[in-house]
Structures are given as structure tokens and as C-alpha cells.
Amino acid sequence: MIFVIMPIGFTMNIEVVFWDEKLQMVITQLIKYSSGLKVSDILAMYNFDSNTNVGIYSVKVSPDTLIAPSDRIEIYQPLRIDPKKARMNRSNRG
């Protein structure tokens, strides 16, 4: 585990990535924050359920995970259709 000592008032940057259903596109936002922010705080900030699957650089983490400087928070959403079934449907259409 790595500990980073930061001066009071110091802000860090993180990147938050998720799929926006209304816009039908991936949203990537850069956020400045001070230390002590957890993944659950990010979920609340974007109105996601606390049971939503989340990862940092493609590694699944729990909502209680503390965020480190320069982390990329990825908010995952369930698949609407099984990828195998989607491929089969496309191949059947010809």
C-alpha cells in the first residue's frame, strides 16, 4: 500500500467514465477533489445505486475503496443482451 502525504487544500484529478443511456454515448469527466473521497461518493455524485459495479483501471473495487490521485473510475452497467446471443441474431439476419 502506498501512502501519499499532501498539503491541506491540495486537490487531485481523477477521471470518471460511464455510459449515458439518454445520450447513447460514453461520458468521460475529469474531476478535481481533495483527499478522502471514496468510490461510493462518486456513485452518489452521478446518482448511481450503491450496488453498481465499479472498477479502477478495469479492476473491480468495492464502494468503500478510497480514490487515489489520477485514478480512472469506471462505472459499469449490466449488459442489455448476452454478447453471444447478439452475434447469433446478427448472423441470422444475414
Q: What is the tally of structural domains in the chain?
A: 1
pLDDT of residue 16: 95
pLDDT of residue 57: 95
Question: How many residues comprise the chain?
Answer: 94
| CATH number of the domain that residue 70 is part of | 3.10.20.30
Q: How far is CA 61 from CA 2, 80, 87, in A?
A: 17, 22, 30
Q: What is the DSSP letter of 15?
A: E
Q: Is residue 35 domain-resident?
A: yes
Q: Is residue 4 domain-resident?
A: no
Q: Tell me: the pLDDT tens digits for 32-85?
A: 887 788 999 999 999 998 889 999 999 999 999 999 989 999 999 888 888 899
* pLDDT for 2 beyond 50: no
Strand residues in 11-69 grouped as ranges (E): 12-20, 25-33, 54-56, 59-61
Task: Tell me the one-letter amino acid at 54.
Answer: V
Q: Is residue 45 domain-resident?
A: yes
Q: Is residue 6 domain-resident?
A: no
Q: Identify which has the larger pLDDT, 16 or 7.
A: 16
